[in-house]
């Protein structure tokens, strides 16, 4: 019997001949903690870590992205506590300038196809985008990983999802993720490892894979693994033989197909990422603010697309447009290519790299009754403030900012 992608990754990391339901100790290649919960990781290590709290320094690091630079004293204290611990144990800190840790780990090519990464970020399963295992965990788990290099894991059952057909022009990776949330809600894939196949993922860019995989958490899945395509292999400079793929005769708990042929832009209305509608059904909703960024839609490709759409256009009067590049490298590239100027000239605010709108209000919160279009991944009640957050892709976000109401990128063509 063949094996699924997650079973192969776990097997190659100490899991032996494991199958679904087996609890195995797996070796972790990258052990990370953020400024959020990182201080508690340090606390656990100080309490339980003994004389040698770090198993392998070269595989262990901190990434600050949640509250950067700290805008509350408790966060500032936590970050400083981490820095002091890191200096003492000679660990690298990707500090407040670095950007979103999960993206840094891919940019630095630490999270390569087939590897394992853990950290205190529930979207760390974003590593599924490169055919690697990643998992967000709490501070106890992560402290344990820092100290021993291992975590226990119950091998999940695998579900294969095949996306059939190709979406319409102007439809993005985010819309496909929303289509999956609409179909599967947050229950059907709960606790499962999903593998995504089909013509769209075969030719998707690395950035689009990141967007799609980043919504696995909202689907309730352990991870959404995308078998590395040519674009991803090229990014890492490796061949198919150096990546890991599921066996052709692997056994899946379920085998679903989802028709995305001709799919048009979608939007998730509050209060849940699974509350999905066609954008065309929500065009009478007036918009107060737009956030573009996050680990879901904050890549160079995403922001370049936003800048191109904004070039020569203006944000509607009274609408805030807040843009946060995912990483410092993204920032540098946008800066060098003059793309930030297009965003600025259109009336946008550009903040330093980080988690932006998702965390503790790095770039502001919403007030009572405020309608925000966000390219992020969560719109739960109270998550980004008192207002009402809708989740959408870049095209919808920009069009809504320019038109002052929910709109798709197709509506934008009428402007200018």
Partner 1 sequence: MAHDMILKGRLWILSENGKLFSDIDTDMIYHNAHLAVTDIDKMGQYAFGNLEGYRDFSSQARPGDLVLAGENFGSGSSRQHAVDCFKALGVQAVIARSFGAIYKRNAINSGFPIIELPDLPDEPFNQFDQIELNLEDGTLSAWDNRYQGNPMSEVARDIYLAGGLFQYAEKM
Residue ranges binding partner 1 (CB under 8 A): 23, 36-37, 39-40, 43-44, 48, 66, 72, 74-75, 77-78, 120-122, 124, 135-141, 143-144, 148, 152, 154, 186-187, 190-191, 217, 220, 222, 272, 359-360, 378, 380-383
- CA pair distance 174, 126, nearest whole angstrom: 14
Q: Which is nearer to partner 1, 9 or 409 (CB)?
A: 9
Q: Which is nearer to partner 1, 152 or 312 (CB)?
A: 152
**Closest CB 76 distance from partner 1, rounded Å:** 9
* Strand-pair category, 223-225 with 193-197: parallel
Q: Please answer whether residues 254 and 193 qualify as being in contact, where contact means their C-beta atoms are separated by less than 8 angstroms.
A: no
Q: Please answer whether residues 398 and 412 qualify as being in contact, where contact means their C-beta atoms are separated by less than 8 angstroms.
A: yes
**Closest CB 314 distance from partner 1, rounded Å:** 33
Secondary element (H or E) of residue 156 = none
Q: Which is nearer to partner 1, 187 or 413 (CB)?
A: 187
Among the listed residues 340, 320, 304, 358, the one whose alpha carbon sits nearest the alpha carbon of residue 100? 358
Q: Which is nearer to partner 1, 75 or 390 (CB)?
A: 75
What sign has the CA pseudo-torsion 41, 47, 52, 55?
Answer: negative
* CB neighbour list of residue 297: distance below 8 Å, 6 or more residues apart: 174, 211, 375, 376, 393, 394, 397
Q: Which is nearer to partner 1, 23 or 415 (CB)?
A: 23
44 exposure class (CB count in 10 Å sphere: 0-12, 13-18, 19+): buried
**Closest CB 48 distance from partner 1, rounded Å:** 4
**Closest CB 181 distance from partner 1, rounded Å:** 13
- CA pair distance 288, 181, nearest whole angstrom: 25
**Closest CB 120 distance from partner 1, rounded Å:** 6
Q: List helix spans (H) across 110-172.
A: 139-148
**Closest CB 12 distance from partner 1, rounded Å:** 21
**Closest CB 374 distance from partner 1, rounded Å:** 15
Q: Which is nearer to partner 1, 324 or 394 (CB)?
A: 324
Give 24's strand partners: 153
**Closest CB 82 distance from partner 1, rounded Å:** 11
Q: Which is nearer to partner 1, 77 or 202 (CB)?
A: 77
DSSP character string of 232-285? HHHHHT--GGGS----TTB--SEEEEEE-TT---EEEPTT-TT-EEEGGGSTT-
Q: Which is nearer to partner 1, 347 or 361 (CB)?
A: 361
Give 193's strand partners: 158, 223
């Amino acid at each position: 019997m063949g094996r699924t992608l997650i079973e192969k990754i776990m097997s190659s990391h100490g899991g032996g001949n494991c199958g679904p339901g087996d609890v195995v100790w797996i070796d972790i290649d990258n052990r990370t903690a953020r400024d959020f919960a990182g201080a508690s990781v340090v606390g656990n290590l100080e309490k339980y870590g003994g004389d040698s709290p770090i198993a392998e320094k070269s595989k262990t690091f901190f990434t600050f992205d949640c509250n950067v630079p700290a805008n509350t004293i408790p966060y500032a204290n936590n970050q400083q506590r981490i820095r002091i611990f890191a200096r003492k144990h000679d660990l690298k800190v990707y500090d407040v300038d670095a950007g979103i840790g999960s993206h840094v780990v891919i940019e630095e090519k630490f999270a390569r196809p087939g590897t394992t990464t853990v950290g205190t970020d529930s979207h760390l399963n974003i590593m599924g985008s490169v055919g690697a295992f990643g998992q967000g965990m709490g501070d106890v788990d992560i402290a344990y990983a820092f100290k021993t290099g291992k975590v226990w894991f119950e091998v999940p059952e695998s579900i294969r999802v095949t996306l059939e057909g190709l979406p319409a022009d102007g439809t993005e990776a985010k819309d496909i993720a929303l289509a999956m949330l609409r179909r599967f809600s947050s229950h059907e894939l709960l606790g499962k490892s999903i593998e995504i196949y089909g013509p769209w993922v075969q030719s998707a860019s690395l950035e689009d894979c990141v967007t799609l995989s980043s919504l696995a958490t909202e689907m309730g899945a352990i991870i959404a693994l995308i078998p590395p395509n040519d674009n991803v292999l090229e990014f890492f400079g490796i061949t198919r033989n150096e990546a890991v793929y599921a066996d052709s005769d692997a056994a899946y708990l379920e085998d679903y197909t989802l028709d995305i042929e001709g799919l048009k832009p979608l939007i998730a209305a509050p209060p849940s990422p699974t509350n999905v509608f066609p954008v065309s059904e929500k065009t009478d909703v007036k918009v107060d603010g737009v956030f573009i960024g996050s680990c879901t839609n904050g890549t160079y490709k995403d922001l370049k697309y936003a800048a191109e759409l904004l070039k020569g256009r203006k944000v509607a009067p009274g609408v805030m447009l807040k843009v946060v590049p995912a990483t410092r490298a993204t920032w540098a590239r946008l800066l060098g290519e003059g793309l930030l100027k297009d965003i600025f000239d259109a009336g946008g605010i550009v903040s330093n790299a980080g988690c932006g709108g998702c965390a503790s209000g790095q770039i502001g919160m919403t007030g009572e009754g405020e309608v925000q279009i966000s390219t992020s991944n969560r719109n739960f009640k109270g998550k980004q403030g008192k207002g009402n957050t809708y989740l959408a892709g870049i095209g919808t976000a920009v069009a809504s900012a320019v038109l002052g109401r929910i709109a798709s990128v197709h509506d934008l063509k009428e402007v200018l």
